Structure 1
Amino acid sequence: MSCKQISETQLTLCHPERELLPLVLAHCHYTLKKGGETDSSYDLPGIQTQLARCFLAGKPLIQAVKTETNHIISYRRQRKDLSGKTIQLPLTLGSVSSTMRTVLRSYTDVCDAVYVVEIGLRFLGKTGGDPQGQLLSYLTDSLRMGPHISSTVAKSKLEHSIFTWQLLTSWKSELMLSRKQKLPSEFLKKLSDKDRKGLKVFLAHTDVDTFTLELHEILLIRSTLESHLEQKDLPPLLGLKSFPEEITLGQGADVWRAAVEFKRR
């Protein structure tokens, strides 16, 4: 079946460390050789059978062709739908961001949190909800996703759903940066020394936390800084006039990387 025909209930949520790894290790056999060495082997047919039984049984075969354009359109539509159903407001950035970074140190945990919140956003975009309702309660009670939810969303309300997702995805990318994972080729253009000097002037006068957060979202949706802030009805960033005009979206990843490093000082 195609992606357009599937529903959330037809998908499988599998935690690689808590569910997949134990399954694989259960089918690992050890043999003691002469000299005290240990040899290991895996029962691959057994793993395949167990995977099918635990995660794939009763699920449809999905054939998908994913393009960046479809992803961008889907994200914009999802955000518009959610904002139309449930009013969205930002959280106080400092305390929430600090708590999230303290709790979510594992890249896997961050990926889990992003995945769960994204599912919540899709449902909220369809059904709506009380803006003052707790996001954690919505995910655990309404969507029954308790085992996979991080405590970092405990203080978030439904009106903070998009902002929570924005924080999580930005933190995920910062961890990817630490892991030296590759970025899409269109964002690999480097800043010149002149641009880098101009950027430092801007970063010294602006709210770097907000800038990195919004720039990260801009890179996801291929927007521009000014139009992005206008569409979200956000005030202009401090010192925006000092931002070098020569810097293009293609250099956005290098700008974001420089801003993250500036923030860590």
Structure 2
Amino acid sequence: MRLIGKRMLCALFAAVLPAAMLAGCAPKTVSQEETAPASLTVFAAASLTETLTEIAEQYKTAAPGVTLIFNFDSSGTLKTQIEEGAACDLFISAAQKQMDQLDASKDAEANPDKLDFIDPSTRVDLLENKVALVVPEGNPAGIGSFADIGEKCGLIALGNDDVPVGQYSEEILTGLGLLETLKSENKITYGSNVKEVTTQVAEGAVDCGIVYATDAYSAGLAVVDEATPDMCRQVVYPAAVTKDTAHPEEAGAFLAYLQTDDSMKIFEAAGFAKPA
């Protein structure tokens, strides 16, 4: 009886062992596979600092395997960094100009250097902003509109002319016939990005400044006027995945998430809107 039992046990073991080995070698199902962690570097206009930081916290629940690393600065600076080889998975600009300069699908006028750094198939117009005239607390100079700048402003803060907010500002002031006079009378102080402009106004170092409406909201600054469509072209924020990204699927997924209702609620609460 013991001999038979041993023989039966050996036979059973011989039959089961190959199947067990095959099962161990079989590929795991999707539910068994562990998602490899991904680290995404997002280059975004400085005016998106508060909203994207909030959305990033929300995204931890939607995509727990993805780590987001943000580089916030002026769109011109970010464009140059990408051009010089900085690692970037997703670029969000505060103007079409800087995005166009990295998009090989654009013509020679928009992209004179024929740079090819973003994937045009992923490009979307993500957000719209407004350009606003802001004043420090108490508004000592009594500025109530863009038209008051010429008479009442002793010093105005603008973004540099190589950053979108500075370009929009110069467009407004040129249309009002004020830009050259302000320059000749040394009434302009500059910031390398919109956050530096808001800081100058908040600290009362200037009589007024031109920033995005969303930055005025974030900094708690008083808005005394907003640029109308005939004063300034539409302020649209394009976004695109870069061609050199090591994580195109994850970058595309985050870009898609930025367009969801959950994300748009955060953007709209800060004053952004969907592009018309």
Q: TM-score over 0.5 for the alignment?
A: no
Please state which band the TM-score falls in when normalised by the shorter chain: under 0.3
TM-score, normalised with respect to structure 1:
0.26
Structure with greater Cα Rg: 2
More strand by share: 2
User: Which structure shows the higher helix fraction?
Assistant: 1
Q: TM-score, normalised by structure 2?
A: 0.25
